[in-house]
Amino acid sequence: MALRSFRGGVHPREHKELTEHKALQVMPPPAEICVPLGQHLGKPANPLVKKGDRVRQGQVLAEASGFISAPVHSPVGGTVVKKTKGPVVGGTTAELLVIQPGPAPAPEAGAPVAIADDGPIFLPPLDPRSVSGKDVVDRVREAGIVGQGGAAFPTAVKLSPPPDKPIDWMIVNGAECEPYLTRDYRLMLERTADLVEGILLIGTALGAKVNLGIGIENNKPAAIRAMREAIAARGARIEVFTLRTKYPQGGEKMLIDAALGRRVPPGELPMAVGCVIQNVGTALAIRDAVVLGDVPRAATLTVSGLGVVEPKNLRVTIGTPLRAVLEYCGGVRPNARRVVVGGPMMGFAAYSLDAPVVKATSGILVLSDAEVAANPESACVNCGKCVAACPVGLMPTRLARLARLRRDEEARDLGIEVCMECGTCAFTCPANIPLVQYVRLGKKNVRNLPRKEA
């Protein structure tokens, strides 16, 4: 059977051998955690607690502040030490609630508390066999689940498409095309039956007529086999799409093109072609919220790279500083050059190891001298490699030049806002021009331009 794929893209070295064979471990919470109020795309949540308050595990610390927002729950029981402003991933600062784990107050009389393996969770479990679509969406919103594919978009919004955008396909992104990262791979192997149930619950939320699928790259044959066996055992109708191993195969538009042959128009969302894409971790979070009454309290992530002593796949309490995670993995080696949060293609270099893990943290990479390109930038040689590699058909070298010259209107007219910042252009550039970084800066400048009237 021919492998499914898309136009453009690149195939960087995978480096997955560092962790793909390592089962998930649970990291104990540190002595103090810092919980950001904005762990999602949209408005930060509004705090409901103050300094000195004792909180229970799973308690709502901050409520959603609008339609595109999400509540934040306490990852542990303990005491709120303070509300402060501190570093977060991405090079900025944000409002944080600092919690010291410890004794928590007893549940309130009559509170709907379910008991999980490691403590009380506030939401009552629902029966996945009889739950309605509305109940699933309401539970996802109440639990504060966000997409774990990178953007951290509130999942309840994705599960509530407008009436004029009928959805006929929901595909789970199991491609995990970023080098180094193997957390989705381990989840597909270790929680296969739960993932199938999560996919079915997403189908319930979107309606009975939606087709269900999961896309997995062909460098993960064990995951493909495990998913097919679990789907057959459940008697479910879920199609497994085998995808060619290529970056960025896991991008929403690339996945839809590869699996279904549908092209999402520039500037549009997947729902424009009747599709919804969810991540493996998101589907499992939905399953846990419905079946267990759980809320996001930990992030599943990969710690990897030649600069860390012991690469691992971990479940890490939300709010744990990056520094503590690296210490749990034996610390960094003398050749460590850079710490990246996320994957090496679309992740962000960490400017402070005090920044905390959040709901959508997928990886922490410690890259060595050998893994970080040291070649200096030179003049563009007009080879066109970046144009051929761009999966959305842009001209990265031209856009980067316009961004550097602050010719923002021209950049907008040439489609700079369509860029998904995947980094294929910078990866393939023989002149070592940081194309995606220039384009990212150009997009920021374009957003500050007056909008054109229709």
pTM, whole model, 2 decimals? 0.92
Main-chain phi, psi angles of 30, to 5 degrees: -75, 180
pLDDT (tens digit per residue) in 141-152: 999 999 987 778
Res 29: pLDDT: 94
Contact 275, 260 (CB under 8 A): yes
Q: Percentage of the chain with pLDDT > 90?
A: 80
pLDDT (tens digit per residue) in 13-52: 999 999 999 999 999 999 999 999 988 888 888 999 999 9
Alpha carbon distance 338, 2 (integer Å): 39
**Average pLDDT, whole number, for the chain?**
91
Contact 295, 324 (CB under 8 A): no
Res 104: pLDDT: 65
* Region 184-189 average pLDDT: 98
Res 454: pLDDT: 42
Q: Label residue 160 by pLDDT band (50, 70, 90).
A: very high
Q: Label residue 112 by pLDDT band (50, 70, 90).
A: very low
Res 259: pLDDT: 95
Lowest mean pLDDT among 3-17, 64-78, 99-113: 99-113
**From-to residues of CATH 3.10.20.600 in the chain:** 298-368
Lowest mean pLDDT among 30-44, 93-107, 289-303, 396-410: 93-107
* Region 170-179 average pLDDT: 96
Highest mean pLDDT among 48-62, 192-206, 361-375: 192-206
Backbone φ/ψ region at 157: left (φ over 0), alpha (ψ -120 to 50), beta: alpha
Res 306: pLDDT: 97
Is CATH 3.40.1190.20 what the domain over 298-368 is classified as, yes or no? no
Q: Which residues contact 79 (CB under 8 A, 6 or more apart)?
A: 52, 53, 54, 55, 99, 100, 102
The separation between CA 204 and the C-alpha centre of its own chain, rounded to angstroms, equals: 22
Whether the predicted pLDDT of 249 surpasses 90: yes
Q: Percentage of the chain with pLDDT > 70?
A: 94
> Residue 149 has what DSSP assignment?
S
Alpha carbon distance 319, 321 (integer Å): 6
Whether the predicted pLDDT of 113 surpasses 60: no
Res 115: pLDDT: 43
Q: Label residue 121 by pLDDT band (50, 70, 90).
A: low
